[in-house]
């Protein structure tokens, strides 16, 4: 791993991985701040800021930003999550100075023009409407809302129509000054990049970033609650998400949870796919996932099926969860590890994947994690650890159930909880 790290006097961290066989560079700025850092009256402002950063600076109009990067065949984009925001570009090696200049410009010189803000609010309102019309988006948003009720972690990243309409340029600047500071920002590049040259470019162009926040950034501690949320809609299929509190990035069982999710529903050879979809034909999509955050996590099973299949589907899923707490085979662990190893190695062939991975590791762990070290962590996972974890995850915590669509035949959460807590018990809808 040819990774070099420099921490500038300003506190900004610059990281590169040189991949000399490439002609392109993926580079970006990752900020350790997202929707969880919003105050009550800022719901959705992190995402709005990401949009507004491309809408004009003191030196460039919104059209100038788009044309300059595309004139050299490059790409420019951004993303907002619960705990991070990123602005990134992909260019040929000779155009790295231009990409650095544009990224610095949008992060230090954005004007937040009133007319541009009005137009972008309208765009985001359409985005919110589109998300509300997409059942598999809705089921995840509602899941988070009930799992972390009344908390920033449980709120949709996009905000609400009312909050988005209310934002002013001053509010955006306040969020920016509080969260976009050098101690929370990482500039990362991977590909045909020279570390020393790149550091000089970043140091020169990002000199205007504030070193410390105007006021301390907000981060409300997460409290997993769990519960039940349902929305009946006249749709062809039902979206169902059953989940539990998972593990934070730094917890001992984090990697164990990743392996367990892979075994249960990480591919076509996984238990849920084989049992639920292939053998029984109860749904057209089923998978398991584990999301880690800084202080909590979510372990979930998502299925999309016809409403009439729900009375049979849910008990089968519960049965597979129970089986995972009783028996895990070494072959399954080996297959999951092989899949993770392949993903890591394949990611090394993509500069964009490497830049994103390095940035996430710097934010979470303060250093890049070499692939051999990552695999070594996975080597210590045994069948006993996995069955023990499954028992604690699925049967010792309050579940969260989210469902959208023709869900009249979906059993009450009390019945599902009872079935989880008591071996051999079926839900009432299934038994009836």
Pairing verdict, β 297-305 and 285-292: antiparallel
Residues paired with residue 92 on neighbouring β-strands, in sequence order? 24
Alpha-carbon span 107 to 117, nearest angstrom: 16
Q: In what order do the strands lie in the sheet with 285-292?
A: 227-232, 400-405, 238-245, 297-305, 285-292
Domain span(s) for CATH 3.30.830.10 in the chain: 3-205, 227-431
**What CATH topology corresponds to 3-205?**
Cytochrome Bc1 Complex; Chain A, domain 1 (3.30.830)
User: What is the set of active-site residues?
Assistant: 50
Q: How many CB atoms lie within 10 A of CB 118?
A: 10
* pLDDT of res. 424: 52
Q: In what order do the strands lie in the sheet with 75-80?
A: 3-7, 13-18, 185-191, 24-31, 85-92, 75-80
- Collect all residues with Cβ–Cβ distance below 8 Å to 82 and sequence separation of at least 6: 34, 35, 36, 152, 153, 157, 293
Alpha-carbon span 100 to 88, nearest angstrom: 10
Q: Where are the alpha helices (DSSP H) in 219-284?
A: 254-265, 271-272
Structure token digits, residue 132: 């509300």
Residues paired with residue 410 on neighbouring β-strands, in sequence order? none
Alpha-carbon span 1 to 78, nearest angstrom: 26
Structure token digits, residue 41: 């009256």
pTM exceeds cut of 0.95:
no
**Where does 53-207 show beta strands of DSSP type E?**
75-80, 85-92, 185-191
Structure token digits, residue 56: 């004009």
Q: How many CB atoms lie within 10 A of CB 149?
A: 15
User: Which residue in 289, 304, 258 sits closest to 402, CA to CA?
Assistant: 304
Superfamily (CATH) of domain 227-431: Metalloenzyme, LuxS/M16 peptidase-like (3.30.830.10)
Sequential pLDDT tens for the chain (432 residues): 689 999 999 999 999 999 989 999 999 999 999 999 999 899 999 999 999 999 999 999 999 999 999 999 999 999 999 999 999 999 999 999 999 999 999 999 999 999 999 999 999 999 999 999 999 999 999 999 999 999 999 999 999 999 999 999 999 999 999 999 999 999 999 999 999 999 999 999 998 888 877 676 667 889 999 999 999 999 999 999 999 999 999 998 999 999 999 999 999 999 999 999 999 999 999 999 999 999 999 999 999 999 999 999 999 999 999 999 999 999 999 999 999 999 888 988 999 999 999 999 999 999 999 888 888 888 889 999 999 999 999 998 899 999 999 999 999 999 999 988 875 555 444 433
* pLDDT of res. 410: 96
* pLDDT of res. 429: 43
3-state secondary structure of 24: strand
Residues paired with residue 426 on neighbouring β-strands, in sequence order? none
Judge contact between 391 and 226, C-beta under 8 A.
no
* pLDDT of res. 371: 85
DSSP code for 307: G
* pLDDT of res. 423: 59
Q: Where are the alpha helices (DSSP H) in 242-370?
A: 254-265, 271-272, 310-324, 330-347, 351-365
* pLDDT of res. 101: 98
């Amino acid at each position: 791993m040819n990774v070099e790290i420099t921490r500038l006097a300003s506190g900004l961290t610059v990281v590169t991985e040189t991949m000399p066989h490439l002609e392109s560079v993926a580079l970006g700025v990752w900020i350790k701040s997202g929707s969880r850092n919003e105050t009550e009256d800022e719901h959705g402002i992190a995402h709005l800021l990401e949009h507004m950063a491309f809408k004009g600076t003191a030196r460039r109009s919104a059209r100038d930003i788009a044309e300059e990067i595309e004139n050299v065949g490059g790409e420019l984009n951004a993303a907002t999550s619960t705990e991070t925001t990123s602005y990134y570009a992909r260019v040929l090696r000779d155009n790295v100075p231009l990409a650095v200049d544009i990224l610095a410009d949008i992060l230090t010189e954005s004007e937040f023009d009133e007319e541009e803000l009005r137009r972008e609010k309208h765009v985001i309102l359409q985005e919110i409407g589109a998300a509300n019309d997409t059942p598999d988006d809705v089921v995840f948003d509602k899941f988070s809302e009930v799992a972390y009720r009344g908390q920033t972690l449980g709120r949709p990243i996009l905000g609400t129509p009312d909050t988005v309409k209310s934002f002013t340029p001053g509010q955006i600047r306040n969020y920016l000054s509080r969260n976009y500071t050098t101690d929370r920002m990482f500039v990362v590049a991977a590909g045909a990049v020279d570390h020393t040259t790149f550091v000089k470019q970043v140091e020169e162009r990002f000199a205007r970033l504030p070193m410390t926040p105007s006021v301390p950034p907000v981060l409300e501690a997460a409290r997993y609650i769990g519960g039940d949320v349902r929305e009946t809609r006249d749709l062809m299929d039902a979206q169902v998400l059953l989940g539990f509190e998972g593990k934070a990035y730094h917890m001992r069982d984090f990697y164990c949870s990743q392996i367990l999710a892979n075994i249960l529903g990480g591919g076509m050879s996984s238990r849920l796919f084989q049992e639920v979809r292939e053998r029984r034909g109860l749904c057209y999509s089923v998978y398991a996932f584990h999301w880690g955050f800084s202080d909590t996590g979510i372990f979930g099973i998502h299925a999309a099926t016809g409403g009439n299949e729900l009375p049979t589907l849910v008990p089968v899923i519960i049965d597979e969860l129970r089986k995972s707490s009783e028996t895990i085979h070494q072959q399954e662990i080996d297959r999951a590890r092989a899949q993770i190893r392949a993903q890591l190695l394949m990611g090394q062939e993509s500069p964009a994947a490497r830049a994103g991975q390095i940035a996430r590791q710097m934010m979470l762990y303060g250093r890049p994690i070499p692939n051999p070290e990552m695999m070594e962590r996975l080597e210590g996972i045994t069948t006993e650890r996995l069955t023990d974890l499954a028992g604690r995850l699925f049967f010792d915590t309050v579940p969260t159930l989210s469902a959208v669509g023709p869900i009249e035949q979906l059993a009450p959460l009390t019945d599902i909880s009872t079935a989880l807590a008591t071996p051999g018990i079926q839900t009432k809808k299934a038994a009836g």
